[in-house]
Chains A and B, each alone.
Chain A
Amino acid sequence: MTGEGEDGGQQEGVTRRPQRRKKVVLAESKATRGVARTIVELEEQTSVGEHLVRSLVRAQFRTALTMALLTMVTLASLPLLFYLFPDFADLTVFGIRLSWVLLGAAPYPLIYGMGVWFVRRAERHERDFVSMVDR
């Protein structure tokens, strides 16, 4: 079926069913130029390519999970602390309840900081992957 389409002229091409359309690449993006061979390897799903992808996914997931657990354990310990130690919940520092600061302001810098850290590490994993592919 596809062999038929190759020698048909432009006029024929218009009249074909949509699934016979060919993808025409006019320009490769500059970053992909140097890495064509390994990309083919990745796309072809050779064992090397699959192994590379698996290790990337695992590294990214481990980073994400670590960050999530760190942040959640820190934040989620607060209600339990307040529940178990009412004196801690009533603690006053400079005339302001510490618990209100811990719930109203402190979590946001913490979460943002963890976010910055995560993005750095995730992008480093990706750079490592690209440089490994780009041999």
Chain B
Amino acid sequence: MTFNLWACACIVVVVVLTFYLGYYGSRTANTTRDFLVARRRVSANQNAAAISGEFLSAASFLGIAGLVLKEGPDQLWYAIGFTAGYFALLLFVAAPLRRSGAYTLPDFVEARLGSKGLRGVAAIVTVAIGYIYLIPQLQGAGLTLATVVPGTPEWAGIVLVTVVVIVNVLSGGMRAITLVQAFQYWVKVFAITAPAFVLFTVFVVGGPPEGQHDLTSTKIPVFTADTTVTLDDSVRIRVVEPIRLEVNGVVDGMPANGKAIWLSGVKDVSAHTRLSFPAGATVPMVEGATVHNSDWLRPQSGGRSALFNTYSLIFATFLGILGLPHILARFYTNPDGRSARRTTLHVLLLLGAFYLFPALLGALARLYEPGLLVTGRTDTALLLLPQAMLPNVFGQMIGALAAAGAFAAFMSTSSGLLVSLAGVVSTDVSRGRVRDFRWSTLLVMVVPVAAALGLRSHDVSLGVGMALAMAASTFCPLLILGIWWRGLTWIGAGAGMVVGGVCVACAMITDIVSGYTGDWAPALLQQPALVTVPLAFGTMIIVSKATHRRRPEEVNRIMLRLHAPDPLGFIKDRDVLRFGEGQSDGRHRRLAIRSRLRARRS
């Protein structure tokens, strides 16, 4: 692939517009309320676009199409689960959470359960979820830039996204990124609909590529032209039908150069190996991909363990979305509970519109770009497909558009995560002034950038799946029980969060270790939600019942505030109570302290 000028231009345009909108949005941002909740004056429609923009991360934009290419329609449960997760958010959380008047999730915990200690636990879990979610975003940015502009190292994309996001968040916090995220939603919608329509037209007019097997046949996809694939990472490839190929590199630990015949079996191919396949050869695929087209086309062809995986995924997404701190943070920007509900409803529409397209693109990629199944880099399907189908300037332009959309995805999600993490750190660790917020922003970003540079890049969606499992096993039971059940005590909530969080963390660590040492971990560890979520719910209920004397005394008044309709005027915004209205930096507080000292002396 040659140097793609169009892609560079498109990415630069999106980055510059992001800077500009961030600057435009942050002109009048100077108070803590601006930085954390955009003064709570964001309209339902704008907030819905911003929430969708924030949520449609790399996992949605690139990941789902790639997973469909690799494993078939079962992977569409990610998209369905995400949308259904927002539905659960609408049903159980949106309006009461906004009415609680909290600033961040830990703030809600303190308001509802009245425990400072638990607030700390919630802050730690928030940061953990944020990091698990942020690392794949940054890695995806590196991967995308390296794909569309060959020759750039992976760290370049990571650094680019980090810089843009930090500058925007530093300049205006939530105020700045609201506008940016709303804009980026529309960029992403355009960047997925335009390629989908154009490429589908090409497919209808031109038909499938010459020599490629029909998706309904029982055959394995083949290379339709002589293809050379260079591996960036070492992969384990499963060969089903014997193929003739040319190898330059290391296979099964032995150097291999020249022509070779691979019989059926598993091959460990090291990084930087070059494989050249003649036209007509069947595509050997990475372990885990569905080999035969007929199996690929039919949902639930993977037997009982695949069924378990699907249900665990549905469970994790349906309940995980409503515990994602960066998503919840956006709901605090609505003026009242009713508009929070309207916002969520609008989000359902916006997400549904977007998710109509990844399935189509994944299927097209299986016909036109089967080479990705060798390297396992199926996340890049959407970026490479346009050029594979239209090998001319037009294809380059469409591919550039997709790349721009992918960058919008990385930037909007990372900035949302960064604002919510910096909000939590600045209000929990320090005193929650604008200055603290800015320092927290810089501090918070160090770990994920380092991790993104250091860790092996996994499939982008899987990291997100883990973050969801974590959210579903910690904040989800806390929010649902906290909002709807008077009996929750802080001890019960803390115990449930610790049990759920530790179980998911153990599963995740085991899974990563097994990924480095030969994939021995069972499916349960990749999708632990089906077990950990009931465990967390059960712990919270049982421990709360055992400690029912610790129920907060004000529980009735708190329930009233959470559920009373907005016109009755029970919303009490905690930020006003806690931080003082319109306080911009330490100056007012210093003056107050000075006069207090003077009064004490006299």
Contacts and interface: CB of A to CB of B under 8 A. Distances in A.
A89 B298 contact: yes
17 contacts: A15-B598, A31-B567, A35-B568, A53-B563, A53-B564, A68-B87, A68-B92, A86-B301, A89-B298, A99-B73, A100-B359, A103-B73, A105-B359, A108-B352, A115-B348, A122-B95, A130-B568
Interface string B552-596: 000011011001111111100000000000000000000010011
Interface of B: 73-74, 76-77, 80, 83-84, 87-88, 90-92, 95, 297-301, 304, 307, 310-311, 314, 318, 338, 341-342, 344-345, 348-349, 351-353, 355-356, 359-360, 363, 484, 556-557, 559-560, 563-570, 592, 595-596, 598-599
A90 to B, nearest CB: 6
B513 to A, nearest CB: 29
B336 to A, nearest CB: 11
A1 interface: no
B557 A107 contact: no
Nearest to B76: A103
Interface residues of A, number: 59
Nearest to A105: B356
Contact of A100 (B73, B341, B566): B73
A54 to B, nearest CB: 8
Interface string A95-135: 00101100111011101101110110011001101100100
Contacts of A72: 84, 318
Interface in A26-78: 28-29, 31-32, 35, 39, 42-43, 45, 49-50, 53, 56-57, 60-61, 64-65, 67-68, 71-72, 75-76, 78
Given A64-B91, A83-B300, A107-B80, A32 B567 contact: yes
A17 interface: yes
A14 B90 CA distance: 43
A126 B337 CA distance: 11
Given A17-B596, A42-B560, A53-B556, A119 B341 contact: yes
B471 to A, nearest CB: 17
B298 A14 contact: no
With a 10 A CB-CB cut-off, give which of B341, B353, B557, B560 has the most chain A CB atoms.
Answer: B560
B298 A122 contact: no
Contacts of B570: 42-43
B300 A108 contact: no
A29 B567 CA distance: 8
Contacts of A89: 298-301
Nearest to B580: A18
A56 B73 CA distance: 41
Contacts of A129: 564-565
Given A29-B569, A108-B356, 13 more contacts: A18-B592, A31-B567, A42-B568, A56-B563, A57-B559, A68-B88, A79-B77, A89-B298, A103-B73, A105-B359, A115-B348, A119-B342, A127-B565
Contacts of A107: 80, 83-84
A93 B486 CA distance: 50
A82 B298 contact: yes
Contacts of A60: 563
Interface of A: 14-15, 17-18, 28-29, 31-32, 35, 39, 42-43, 45, 49-50, 53, 56-57, 60-61, 64-65, 67-68, 71-72, 75-76, 78-80, 82-83, 86, 89-90, 97, 99-100, 103-105, 107-109, 111-112, 114-116, 118-119, 122-123, 126-127, 129-130, 133
B90 A118 contact: yes
A111 B595 contact: no
Given A75-B84, A111-B87, A133-B568, A99 B298 contact: yes
A98 to B, nearest CB: 10
B112 to A, nearest CB: 14
A90 B568 CA distance: 55
Contact of B76 (A15, A65, A104, A112): A104
Contact of A39 (B76, B301, B318, B568): B568
A108 B88 contact: no
A108 B70 CA distance: 23
Nearest to A99: B299
A112 B348 CA distance: 6
Nearest to B95: A122
Chain A interface mostly helix, strand, loop or mixed? helix
B569 A32 contact: yes
Q: 8 tightest A-B contacts by CB?
A: A108-B352, A15-B599, A104-B359, A126-B565, A31-B567, A82-B300, A64-B91, A83-B300
B298 to A, nearest CB: 5
A14 B595 contact: yes
Given A15-B598, A103-B359, A32 B83 contact: no
Given A14-B595, A103-B299, A104-B359, A83 B80 contact: no
A104 B356 contact: yes
Contact of B307 (A35, A49, A65, A79): A79
A112 B270 CA distance: 47
Contact of A75 (B74, B80, B342): B80
A4 to B, nearest CB: 13
Contacts of A104: 73, 76, 356, 359-360
B569 A118 contact: no
A97 B301 CA distance: 15
Nearest to A68: B91
Contacts of A111: 83-84, 87, 348, 352
A109 B114 CA distance: 41
B558 to A, nearest CB: 10
Contacts of A80: 307
Contacts of A31: 567-569
B307 A83 contact: yes
Contact of A43 (B77, B300, B557): B557
A61 to B, nearest CB: 5
B92 to A, nearest CB: 6
A132 B504 CA distance: 46
Nearest to B562: A57
A45 B553 CA distance: 12
With a 10 A CB-CB cut-off, give which of B299, B355, B356 has the most chain A CB atoms.
Answer: B299
B73 A43 contact: no
A76 to B, nearest CB: 6
Nearest to A76: B314
Contacts of A29: 567, 569
A90 B298 contact: yes
Contacts of B352: 108-109, 111-112
